[in-house]
Structure 1
Amino acid sequence: METRTASADDAEGMGQVLREIIEHTGRQRPHDASFVMGRYIADSTSIRCTVAVDGSGNIVGFQSLKKAVAGNPYDTPEGWGIIGTHISPKVHRQGVGKLLFSATREAARQAGLEKIDAYIGADNPSGLKYYNAMGFRTYRTPEGIVQKVCDL
């Protein structure tokens, strides 16, 4: 397993990861390549989007890191990082999340961030457990959401 910065060529594979998550959880979300490009790869606030690739070259997960700007949809304080993690259920508990966060944490430090926000559905126990394991702590709980922060 290895990580690298996502490129436009990865949009379809990243969309496939989102489709696998939808099949596993039943939670609907956009997942086509154009959505992936706009939301993760080419977003103007992006610091880095990292993909995890298995030995066959398949994308099995990705993690985005953006810089919070005024009016962001998560109400994250300006200047913090905003993280999003998407891992195929096929590779859960195989260290993919830890590998991705290692790359993301380094990108955050290089960008001079002091904090990273994670915005997680309260009905997503695996997401909550993951962010706890990565050292995030709850700092806010809007209705149906748990927001966690990691101090760098």
Structure 2
Amino acid sequence: MKTRAASADDAAEMGRVLREIIDHNGRQRPSDVDFVMGRYIADPTSIQCTVAIDEAGNVVGFQSLKKAVAGNPYDTPEGWGIVGTHISPKVHRQGVGKLLFAATREAALQAGLEKIDAYIGADNSSGLRYYDAMGFRTYRTPEGIVQKVCDL
């Protein structure tokens, strides 16, 4: 597997990954190309969106890194990074998340970030374990959510 910056050409495959996650966990979320473009690839607060590509050239996961601005929907402190991770269940436990976070961490350091926030549903045990494994620690627990922070 390898990683690279996401482009508009990846939007449909990134949407497919989101639909595979929806099929796996039942959590509804938008997954169309317009949503992927606006939320991950062309978001004005985006620092980097990274895709993981398998040997056949297919997108199997992606991770977005944004800069927290005033009034962001996660109540993340302004100036921190905000990370979002989406990995196809077909490749869980194959190192995709670790590979993605290595690229994201490097982008965060290059952007001068000191902290990255992850906003995870309290019932998302695999997401919570993932962020713990990447070195995040819980710093806030709003209703139904666990917010973790990684100090860079």
CA RMSD of aligned residues (A): 0.2
Q: Which amino acid aligns with 1:109?
A: L
1:63 aligned residue = 63
Unaligned runs of 5+ in 2: none
- Say which SS state the counterpart of residue 142 (structure 2) adopts: coil
Following superposition of structure 1 onto structure 2, how do residues 29-108 of structure 1 map, counting pairs within 5 Å?
A: 29-108=29-108
Q: CA deviation at 1:42?
A: 0.1
Q: Give the share of equivalent positions with the same residue, in percent.
A: 86
TM-score, normalised to structure 1's length? 1.00
TM-score, normalised to structure 2's length? 1.00
Rounded to whole Å, the distance in 2 between the matches of 1:62 and 1:98 is 11
- Say which SS state the counterpart of residue 3 (structure 2) adopts: strand
Q: Please list the CA deviations of residues 29-82 of structure 1 after superposition, one character each: whole Å capped at 9, or x if unmatched.
A: 000011000000000000000000000000000000000000000000000000
Rounded to whole Å, the distance in 1 between the matches of 2:33 and 2:137 is 32
Q: CA deviation at 1:21?
A: 0.1
2:125 aligned residue = 125
Rounded to whole Å, the distance in 1 between the matches of 2:10 and 2:37 is 9
Q: Please list the CA deviations of residues 76-135 of structure 1 after superposition, one character each: whole Å capped at 9, or x if unmatched.
A: 000000000000000000000000000000000000000000000001000000000000
Is the counterpart of residue 142 in structure 1 residue 134 in structure 2?
no
Rounded to whole Å, the distance in 1 between the matches of 2:114 and 2:138 is 16
Rounded to whole Å, the distance in 1 between the matches of 2:130 and 2:7 is 25
Paired residues, number: 152
